[in-house]
Structure 1
Amino acid sequence: MENFIYVLKPVRSTFLHDSTEEERNIVSEHFQYLQNLNKEKTVSIAGRTEQAEFGIVILNTESLQAAKEIMQNDPAVKKNVMTAELYPFLIALK
């Protein structure tokens, strides 16, 4: 198993304060998606900065391709509410 991190950023800096109901529903789907992956032990850690400038998701997957598919299927990414970048990630301390 390998670790990867994807960094999420809202599509606009004011998102936390002016998101639409539809966007908030997508963020709820995003949270449920990550919750399910956490139960499966695929997501180790997920969270965001207090003002939501960015968030991170740490994954434990079989391959880069598997991590990429998870990121691309994240509802917030898939429905263009957030952008995401994926990186290989080495955990130094846990």
Structure 2
Amino acid sequence: MSEWIYFIHPPRENFVETITEEEAGIMQVHAGHLAELHQQGVLILAGPTFGRINTGIAVIEADDEDAATTIMSSDPAITSGLMTGELRPMRVAFLRGRD
């Protein structure tokens, strides 16, 4: 298993402040999807960034880049067309509670 980070880029600046009802519904489905990945042990951490640009991040474990791409591509925020994804390999070097 290797670790990957994917960035979830919003459609506009100040997304959190200007989210529509329809977009909020998509984001609820997205949150449920991430919760499932967490329960399955795939998701290490996830959350939004705040400020003018509200990029989301998700750190996942996957066997290889194809598997990581499949995980990212199944995110409802991305499959809906609301957000775009960007995948990068990474290494979790320090994580509280992890030896």
After TM superposition, the score normalised by the length of structure 2 is 0.88
Aligned to 1:8: 8
Identity %: 34
Segments of structure 2 that go 5 or more residues without pairing to the other structure are none
How many residue pairs get matched? 94
- RMSD, aligned α-carbons: 1.2
Aligned to 1:65: 66
62-71 or 37-46, which deviates more: 62-71
After TM superposition, the score normalised by the length of structure 1 is 0.92
- The CA distance in 2 between the partners of 1:37 and 1:30, in whole Å, is 11
Deviations 1:32-76 (A, max 9, x none): 000000001100000111336211100011111111011111000
Q: Which SS does the other structure have where 1:41 is aligned?
A: coil
Is the Cα–Cα contact under 8 Å of residues 11 and 80 in structure 1 kept in the other structure? Answer: no
Aligned to 2:50: 50
